[in-house]
A = this chain, B = another copy of it.
Amino acid sequence: MIDEELVQLLTPEGLRVGHPEYASSLDGEEIFSLYRDMVIVRRLCNESTSLQRQGQLALWAPIQGQEAAQIGAGRALQPMDFTFPTYREHGIAWCRGVPPEDVLRMFRAVSNGGWNPQHFRHSVPTVVLGNQALHAVGYAMGVQRDGAEEAVMTFFGDGASSQGDTLESFVWAASFNAPVVFFCQNNQWGISTPSSLQSKVPLYRRAEGFGFPGVRVDGNDVLAVYEVTKKALDNARVGGGPTMIEAYTYRMGAHTTSDDPTRYRIDAEVEVWKHRDPLERVKALLVREYQIKGAAFDQVNHEAEAMALKLRDDVLAMGRPDPITMFDHAYASEHALIEEGRREMLELGISGGAH
């Protein structure tokens, strides 16, 4: 995979490569810590997949293969930044401090959100493709009005890049020079739709036509993703305007647990990408360059295992909410139809108020 356009700092074999514009700024400890996060979110993802298989989740959207893209981007964020994810940003949520079990509330179908987005400065997941890109730009316009040095980052996929909302958000970000970073994970597929149907040219080039820079980064190279994202965020915070980042990566698993990718893609493609595993290359680097030993890796695996165990317990403990809660927060203030609905539900004995 030699690609002039692609920012890469670490080859699939874990060898460092130079880049005229970007250099890795991280020391061994920091790299190890990125690796740790990747291991944990991979484990989180695997645990969620099995929870789904066991009927404990309604659905799961795996991120396997995209760990470097998400951890690289997520770790480049500062606490004061704000993020607008889709349904697949579990790695970002992890970096923002959202408890893993909260990420699973939507997938357990007990909530349509799952966490307090203001508290974590990480918005609730957006399922309607593209909608969140405009929210991010609007939020960024608020940041501008507050005169704050904060950046906003929004996430979308190669598929969502075709939606009007995503494209309008480019127009607006450019027009208002909004402090926003568009982070597009091109995982090659939108369910069964290959990214080649969304664009005949590399996606990152779209940005330039709207008047702001686009960068394509090896999305399986956590060092490169981190540096590219950090630079874009730093630039946004000081008034440098928007950047689009295309993280070129691959969705190793199915679109969701409801999906059957064997119907539309060939094994050989998946095999090729296996050799580009985002975790393996960092591990190779850590072993070779920083002499990290098996014990340290074991320790990370233990941590991940503990997280997974706790996650499982937490999820199993998530009961069915009292039906009456469906009326909560439908409106911010009193509403006759809400009162009516509550009353009817109580009369029918559906909610006993026992909860």
Chain A residues near B (Cβ < 8 Å): 162-165, 167-168, 171, 174-175, 197-201, 205-211, 214
B199, A174: Cβ atoms closer than 8 Å = yes
Which residue on chain B has the smallest CB distance to residue A199? Answer: B211
The complex places the Cα of A208 from the Cα of B162 at a distance, in Å, of 15
Choose among A165, A174, A197, A209 the residue with the greatest number of B CB atoms under 10 Å from its CB.
A209
A197 interface neighbour in B163, B164, B175, Cβ under 8 Å = B175
Report chain B residues within 8 Å CB of A209.
201, 205-210, 214
Minimum distance in angstroms from A32 CB to a CB of chain B:
38
Report chain B residues within 8 Å CB of A197.
175
Dominant SS at the A interface? helix
With A205-B208, A210-B209, A211-B201 as contacts: A168 and B164 at CB distance below 8 Å: yes
Known: A205-B209, A208-B209. 19 other contacts (CB 8 A): A162-B171, A163-B164, A164-B167, A164-B168, A167-B167, A167-B168, A171-B199, A175-B197, A175-B200, A199-B211, A200-B211, A201-B208, A201-B209, A201-B210, A201-B211, A205-B208, A207-B209, A208-B208, A209-B210
Minimum distance in angstroms from A178 CB to a CB of chain B:
12
Pick the 9 closest A-B CB pairs, nearest first.
Answer: A164-B164, A209-B209, A167-B167, A200-B211, A206-B209, A201-B211, A162-B171, A205-B209, A164-B168
Minimum distance in angstroms from A5 CB to a CB of chain B:
14
With A164-B163, A209-B210 as contacts: A175 and B201 at CB distance below 8 Å: no
Report chain B residues within 8 Å CB of A205.
208-209
Minimum distance in angstroms from A99 CB to a CB of chain B:
36
Report chain B residues within 8 Å CB of A214.
209
Report chain B residues within 8 Å CB of A207.
209
The complex places the Cα of A213 from the Cα of B146 at a distance, in Å, of 40
The complex places the Cα of A341 from the Cα of B162 at a distance, in Å, of 42
B210, A198: Cβ atoms closer than 8 Å = no
A210 interface neighbour in B164, B174, B199, Cβ under 8 Å = B199
The complex places the Cα of A318 from the Cα of B148 at a distance, in Å, of 60
Minimum distance in angstroms from A168 CB to a CB of chain B:
5
Minimum distance in angstroms from A207 CB to a CB of chain B:
7
Report chain B residues within 8 Å CB of A167.
164, 167-168, 171
With A205-B209, A209-B205, A209-B209 as contacts: A175 and B163 at CB distance below 8 Å: no
Which residue on chain B has the smallest CB distance to residue A130? Answer: B164
The complex places the Cα of A164 from the Cα of B160 at a distance, in Å, of 13
The complex places the Cα of A162 from the Cα of B199 at a distance, in Å, of 19
The complex places the Cα of A197 from the Cα of B103 at a distance, in Å, of 39
Report chain B residues within 8 Å CB of A162.
168, 171
Minimum distance in angstroms from A212 CB to a CB of chain B:
8
